Structure 1
């Protein structure tokens, strides 16, 4: 399976960059994972123009108003997409003002990891960790407890 994470903004803090690199390295055991950075725009609509150029496969938008999911739910979602023949998943993370309505409409799924608002740079590390956790759940490895 191929996993794309399309995220707005550059990671400026080394600790977030290190976390994302570590989880994507761990994910190599289970899938091909790449992170695609989109430059910050003045508005979600401006960012959306760039996001749409990078979208492929089954699109899943991370949005605070999305369906609240657990780690197990994400694992189940990935498993169901794979079983349905979807070999490429693209997760979207908007900028500080979120994703435009047009970009959200491209998504087959809209998910949320909580009702709290996370900084979009932190969300990238959280998403990488949750994708890694999902694959460990699916492969019955001891990471998830």
Structure 2
């Protein structure tokens, strides 16, 4: 299976980079992993709705450049489906059984995802109603993908 993560913004903290590298290394045994960073838009704290919309559209265009027709697009959204790790693993496994080998997860920037990306999504997924920093969320997503492959393969992993 191929897992692609398209994320808005770059990782700035070394400890997050190290965690991402560790999970990427672990995932090598289970899938082909590709992480794509697209440039985030700098917007002021008190941005107008028009400024926010323009920024989301710019980020969305950059994301769309990497999407392929055959991708199963998974958008990470607060209002998406919430599930436990077992159900997450089962959903990934089901896609694989159906011959859908390219899962593309999209993590938006600090102001979210543009409507065009959300509309194209095959699976809207939420890890919580809480808000996470998008840089930290990349680590959380990689850990859950790794956990899913351990579950799919019947291997033990700490709970």
Q: TM (normalized to structure 1)?
A: 0.97
SS at match of 1:129: helix
Paired position in structure 1 for 2:88 = 74
Q: 2:119 aligns with which of 101, 105, 116?
A: 105
Where do 4+ consecutive residues of structure 1 move more than 2 Å?
A: none
Paired position in structure 1 for 2:28 = 28
Larger Rg: 2
Deviating more after overlay: 35-44 vs 78-87? 35-44
> Take 2:115 and 2:87, find their aligned partners in 1: how far apart are those partners?
24
Q: Give the RMSD, CA atoms, in angstroms.
A: 0.9
Paired position in structure 2 for 1:134 = 148
SS at match of 1:59: strand
Q: TM (normalized to structure 2)?
A: 0.88
> Take 1:105 and 1:76, find their aligned partners in 2: how far apart are those partners?
24
Pick closer, same or farther for the CA change 1:139–1:77 going to 2, 3 Å.
same
1:36 CA displacement: 0.4
Paired position in structure 1 for 2:102 = 88
> Take 2:81 and 2:8, find their aligned partners in 1: how far apart are those partners?
21
CA offsets, 1:102-138, max 9 Å, x none? 1111110000001100000011000000000000010
SS at match of 1:91: strand
1:141 CA displacement: 1.1
1:21 CA displacement: 0.8
> Take 1:53 and 1:74, find their aligned partners in 2: how far apart are those partners?
27
> Take 1:106 and 1:19, find their aligned partners in 2: how far apart are those partners?
30
Q: How many positions carry a matched residue from both structures?
A: 145
> Take 2:108 and 2:83, find their aligned partners in 1: how far apart are those partners?
18
> Take 1:90 and 1:144, find their aligned partners in 2: how far apart are those partners?
26
Gaps of 5+ in 1: none
